[in-house]
Amino acid sequence: MNRRTFLNTGLIATTALAAAPAPNPTAAQIIDRVRKNVGVPWRAQTVDNVIAGNPDTPVRGIASTMMATLDVLQRSAAAGLNLVITHEPTFYLHQDTADTLTNNPVFKFKTAFIRQHDMVIFHFHDHWHAHHPDGIAEGMSRALGWEKNVVDPADPREFTFPPTPLARFAQQIASRLHIRAMRVVGDPALPVRRVATSWGYLSRDPGIQLLARPEIDAVVCGETREWEVVEYAQDAVAAGQKKALILMGHVVSEESGMKYCAEWLKSFITEVPVEFIPAPEPFWLPSLPPGPAGA
């Protein structure tokens, strides 16, 4: 081989190396970017961890979802998305511990599906709420079109409205978010002016404190125990107070926050596709047939 041939061969090899596509980032590398971009210190104690799968798995695509149900995992895998960033647990408990489920057939089926499709599940709850503004609250405000009604844009949890009868106000929420099984406590004719929200689960405290505030007409949340905030709302109405409680359902009450999360992820992840995969509302009313999964 003469010098010219050697140089040409080296040039071809160098060009081929330069043209070779960079390997896809691993799940661990993507999660590290999430940690660096969320804007708050990462907590030592948190549920925000890899729940299933190998963090060293190369990522083909990312699904952002409210809840990593088997249906969501199946649709994500079909779309070529193998890193699932879920706001709520995968294995039926906030901490995602599954010690008692080892021999459960549904658990075994789900974990086998995750393994067979080379998927990684990342629970992203605490730090998305801690993001400024709260990522779930921001996404829900946008989805409902309440940006102009927010009291404090830095903390979009309270809103003011022109006086609107409770029945119409609840119907507007259900229509905007396509909710099948909303529940409401209160006089349908109650004029709603000031609303406090608690997306997801609302515990006894601060639920009672929110309803007790004189300027609050209605509290909107995902769910609460019926012997806690629901019972208090009933008692408040029976005592003559002008109060209302709207229960949207946990999934629909936070889902738009994970749609916003997909948009946020796209701002710093460009090598692989990022998609929002909606989780199906689990409930339906007996007067209506159940809708298709993911509707």
pLDDT digit string, tens, across residues 55-113: 999 999 999 999 999 999 999 999 999 999 999 999 999 999 999 999 999 999 999 99
Q: pLDDT digits over 254-272, tens only?
A: 999 999 999 999 999 999 9
Output the pLDDT for position 154: 87
Q: What is the pLDDT of residue 50?
A: 98
pLDDT of 16 above 50: no
The bridge status of strand 50-52 relative to strand 120-123 is antiparallel
- Which amino acid is residue 53, in one-letter code? G
**Scanning the structure block, which residue is given the tokens 């149900």?**
69
Q: pLDDT exceeding 70 applies to what percent of the chain?
A: 90
**Residue 120 above 80 pLDDT?**
yes
- Cα dihedral angle (32, 37, 38, 39), rounded to 10 degrees? 130
**Position 9 confidence tier, pLDDT thresholds 50, 70, 90:** low
- Residue 27 pLDDT more than 50? yes
- Does the pLDDT of residue 15 top 70, yes or no? no
d(CA 262, CA 267): 9
pLDDT per residue as tens digits for the range 191-250: 999 999 999 999 999 999 999 999 999 999 999 999 999 999 999 999 999 999 999 999
Whether residue 7 has pLDDT greater than 90 = no
Task: Transcribe the chain into DSSP letters.
Answer: --HHHHHHHHHHHHHHHHHSPPPPPBHHHHHHHHHHHSSSPPPSS-S-SEEES-TTSBPS-EEEEEE--HHHHHHHHHTT--EEEEEE-SSSSTT---GGGTT-HHHHHHHHHHHHTT-EEEE--HHHHHSSS-HHHHHHHHHHT-GGGBS-TTSTTEEEEEEEEHHHHHHHHHHHHT-SS-EEES-TTPEEEEEEEEEEE--HHHHHHHHHSTT--EEEEEE--IIIIIHHHHHHHHTT---EEEE--HHHHHHHHHHHHHHHHHTT--SS-EEE-PPPP----TTSPPPPTT-
Q: What is the mean pLDDT of the chain?
A: 93
pLDDT per residue over 148-182, tens digit each? Answer: 999 999 889 999 999 999 999 999 999 999 999 99
pLDDT of res. 22? 77
Report residue 33 as tokens. Answer: 């970017």
pLDDT of residue 290: 67
Which residue segments constitute the domains of the chain, with CATH numbers given? 27-131+254-276 (3.40.1390.30), 135-248 (3.40.1390.30)
How many C-beta atoms surround the C-beta of residue 186 within 10 A?
A: 23
Distance CA 135, CA 126 (A): 10
pLDDT of 256:
98
Identify the pLDDT of residue 126. Answer: 98
* DSSP class per residue in 35-79: HHHSSSPPPSS-S-SEEES-TTSBPS-EEEEEE--HHHHHHHHHT
